Amino acid sequence: MRDRVIRDEIHRDILVPASHASIIDTKEFQRLRSIQQLSTCEYVFPAATHNRFAHSLGAYYLAKEVTAHINEVHPNLLNESDAELIHLAALLHDIGHPPYSHLLETPEVYATYHSHEHWGRLMLESDETEIGIAVQKVLGRDRLYRLFAIMDGASEYEGVPIPAFMKEIVSSQLDVDRMDYMVRDQANTGAQIGGFDIARVIRALRVGDDGHFFVKLWGLPAIEAYLVTRYHMYHQVYFHKVNMLTQSYLVRMLSRARNLAEQGKLELSKQLELMLVEEELTAVGYATLNDSHVKVILPEWANHEDNILSQYATRLLSRRDFHKSLRIDSLTTEMSDTIIERVKEMVQEAGYDPEIEVISSKISKLGYKPYVQGILLEDGSDAAEKSSLIRSLSQPFERALIFVPDAIRDDVEAKVREWIMPSQTSLSNYSNSTE
């Protein structure tokens, strides 16, 4: 096998040595081509159909850029062997993702539930997966477990230290994973939110005496742009109300299919059986699953006799008759928990099944966290101390969405506004009140 160059829409040429190409060419890594990066976000942004394969290559490219920069500004700090482990940690960080990425990473769907990190570990250390065999051939068992230690954020492996910056390249507030997916997601959704300069962020990085990264003071504007981009991507893209709604449709549909299959009322394909009802799913079986196994069944389920299953499948197939969200921006999760039963009663009185026709979704995002998980500057201060803009991003964001049928949205919304008017911050004193 020869070295190769992969052309990427974001980073342009990505140089891949033959040994790493042997890993990329395994069926488990190629599977990432069929797992969309943003799950159901295409229902909002039609071009957001990019996949985990391209993102993993992008993170790999950026990891190589960061290690090259470290070797330039801190000669002899990082040896060639550990640099390769960092590159492969970035390349393989998403290998264990389920279909539709984080969305289906839930016990509501999988009868055998593990996190994507756990599935990735099983796949990489297996002697029965192509990728396990390829990685072990490239690294050997001992270096493979040092790779795992880096991914886990360990400070040493077998008595050999692992400096903190090695883990921070792969997973931190300022890691190559986040840098790639924000630029890639912005490009593919068409979101116009400013962006940031990846090259300048990387050039500003240095390693301190404690082994952690810090940022040169002149790099603070680039860090501000990075954090502002992240803020807007969450608010405008990842937390878009239609994205949240279609995610609920998909999880509810698969959960219903699982329930019907367990009752003997639905016959599943081999792959969906592995996903929904197999209680001893192996890494080999898990690695056969991708988005297409769900997409291909939608027309059949849309015509199924079970009303619940067919409604969810029909909506995902045709993008018609979507529920509508209550237009109350101040609705908190506490308020939602307090009024949701009353909303269901109102929906039922209008002739709808509340278990199908009332969908609630909670949005929760921690703000920038100084010190504990923050970004340090060269003088030892946190970036938030030097930037009022970054300080403004430190507040956590929380919001609740309630979706109901379009025909009764206005009536339900008016009632909910009446219920929450006495207090826009807490309904604890009104949870037992009557109309």
The pLDDT confidence band at residue 428, using thresholds 50, 70 and 90, is very low
**DSSP 8-class letter at 36:** B
Distance of alpha carbon 399 from alpha carbon 36, whole angstroms: 26
Residue-wise pLDDT for 382-391, tens only, equals: 999 999 999 9
Residue 304 tokens, joined = 């199924």
Q: What is the pTM of this model?
A: 0.94
Mean pLDDT over each residue of the chain, to the nearest integer: 94
CATH 3.40.47.10 fits 323-435, yes or no: no
The pLDDT confidence band at residue 370, using thresholds 50, 70 and 90, is confident
pLDDT reported for residue 330: 87
Q: Quick check: 291 and 35 in contact, CB under 8 A?
A: yes
Residue 170 has pLDDT above 90, yes or no: yes
Residue-wise pLDDT for 304-319, tens only, equals: 999 999 999 999 999 8
Question: CATH 1.10.3210.10 occupies which residues in the chain?
Answer: 4-238
Q: What percent of the chain has pLDDT over 90?
A: 89
Residue 435 has pLDDT above 50, yes or no: no
Residue 180 has pLDDT above 90, yes or no: yes
Residue 14 has pLDDT above 70, yes or no: yes
Mean pLDDT in residue range 139-167: 97
Q: What percent of the chain has pLDDT over 70?
A: 96
Residue 425 has pLDDT above 60, yes or no: no
pLDDT reported for residue 114: 97
Mean pLDDT in residue range 95-114: 96
Residue 408 tokens, joined = 């009764």
Residue 212 has pLDDT above 90, yes or no: yes
Architecture of the structural domain at 4-238 = Orthogonal Bundle (1.10)
Mean pLDDT in residue range 169-187: 96
Cα Rg, the chain, nearest whole Å: 24
pLDDT reported for residue 154: 96
Q: Of 226, 248, 233, 227, whose CA–CA distance to 188 is shortest? A: 233
CA angle in degrees (0–180, nearest 5) for 390-393-394 = 100
pLDDT reported for residue 41: 97
Q: Of 143, 155, 197, 151, whose CA–CA distance to 171 is shortest? A: 151
Helix (H, G, I), strand (E, B) or coil at 155: coil
Residue 365 tokens, joined = 């995002």
Residue 149 has pLDDT above 60, yes or no: yes
Q: Of 135, 138, 237, whose CA–CA distance to 184 is shortest? A: 237
Question: CATH 3.30.70.1370 occupies which residues in the chain?
Answer: 323-435
